[in-house]
Amino acid sequence: MKVLLVNNDKGWSGGQEHLKDLATELVLKGVNVHFLVRAGSKSDSRFRETALPVHALPGHGVGDIIAFAALVRLFRRERFDIVSVNREHDLLLCALAWRVAFPFRKAGKFIVNYHVGTARKQPFLSWADGIVCISEHVRDKLCLNNPVAVGKTTILYHGVGLTGPLEPEKFRSDRCRRYFSGVGFPLIGMLGEFWKNQTELVDAVPYLKEEFPDLKVAFVGDKSDAGLLQPVLDRIRKHGLEGDFIFVGRIPREKIPEVFFDFDLSVSTHRNEGYGIVHLESLAAGTPIVAFNEGGIVDILRGEDVGLLVDGGPREFAAAVASLLRDTERRLAMGGRGHELVLEKYSRAAMGARYLDYYRSLLADSRSFSNSEKSVRPDGGVTRCQ
């Protein structure tokens, strides 16, 4: 099977990391994986680190005309079994090139992936053979104004790597912190860019400090955009909490397990999260989660005793956080169950298996599908849009 993963984004974030992880897992399962990127982008250089084939298109503007012709040639030459578009802004170019390349009989299957919730009308979505959403939240928003998505959308959950069993030290309330050396109890933290509603977490902190005066809150994420960061700083200053927050900035991916090892709780006040790979990384490190009962994180926490989902606002959020901070036994037990949950359902290997099964199900009736392979329907980690 030959798969093309399309991501023409200029930057590099969790979505691209996911594609890199997915490609690695698919290759381990015998899939021939290619990438499609914009020339000179971060994705161009980072995906080349995998040593897999990378096809680079010229930039936007006049380059789009050249890119379109090059893409038609690429589709005809490589005859991919699966073309997977992973950003909605790539849909128009790829859909048109796919239709021109194969006006009568398609060589494979054309699918579109959605990682963030969008209710916008999606032109040319009807041309897709399949639609993949990362959570029920993303699926429901997409189907709201795109009725063509109803009936052909599948949810495929992401997965993360596990470095091994949890260390016993994680379950000691007096453990030495690794990244936040010298910080006492309690330490809570939130990972994410500063457009993810961090101000509502700031509003919850005064309630928490009534019971936990030594509380420290860590924000981990790119702090170079002053326009995004300033509202958070203003809210902290308004509450007089300048000494209670730690701004870490963006950190290397390999350091994330250390950060979550240190957190007594991982928290998120983002109400429109498409899914949140960082939440799986938190659970993998044995750290429970407290989040609002909205967005893609609900898919992970619902029905699992690995964290708390909160209805309400800052006061209710603070009450949920406080309930776990004061109940060490319950908090640590949740952390152990979280690690087991990731191992069972959200490992990278499980993710790769889900995607491969989905690709096979699409190709079951296609001439490009090898007769030696059987069609396997997605497992319990997959649901379809009704």
Q: What is the pLDDT of residues 295-306, one digit of tens each?
A: 999 999 999 999
Q: Give strand pairing partners of 64.
A: none
176 residue type, one letter: C
Q: What pLDDT is stored for residue 253 in this prediction?
A: 85
CA-nearest of 143, 151, 99 to 124 is 99
Q: How far is CA 52 from the centre of its chain?
A: 22
The Cα–Cα gap between 144 and 308 comes to 28
The Cα–Cα gap between 167 and 171 comes to 8
Q: What pLDDT is stored for residue 111 in this prediction?
A: 95
pLDDT in tens, 56-104: 988 766 777 888 999 999 999 999 999 999 887 788 889 999 999 999 8
Q: What pLDDT is stored for residue 381 in this prediction?
A: 39
For the 168-345 domain, the top CATH level (class) is alpha beta
Q: What is the CATH number of domain 2-159+347-363?
A: 3.40.50.2000
All residue ranges of the chain with pLDDT < 70 are: 9-11, 60-61, 365-386
28 residue type, one letter: L
Q: What pLDDT is stored for residue 61 in this prediction?
A: 67
Q: What pLDDT is stored for residue 289 in this prediction?
A: 98
Sign of the CA dihedral running 136, 137, 138, 141: positive
Q: How far is CA 233 from CA 88, 186, 217, 266, 270, in A?
A: 32, 21, 13, 20, 17
Q: Give strand pairing partners of 290.
A: 267, 308
The Cα–Cα gap between 29 and 51 comes to 16
Contact 219, 199 (CB under 8 A): no
Q: How far is CA 44 from the centre of its chain?
A: 20
348 residue type, one letter: R
Q: What pLDDT is stored for residue 365 in this prediction?
A: 57
Q: What pLDDT is stored for residue 370 in this prediction?
A: 38
Fold match between domain 2-159+347-363 and domain 168-345: yes
Q: Taking the domains of the chain in order of start, what are their residue ranges? A: 2-159+347-363, 168-345
Q: What pLDDT is stored for residue 29 in this prediction?
A: 95
Q: What pLDDT is stored for residue 377 in this prediction?
A: 31
Q: What pLDDT is stored for residue 287 in this prediction?
A: 97
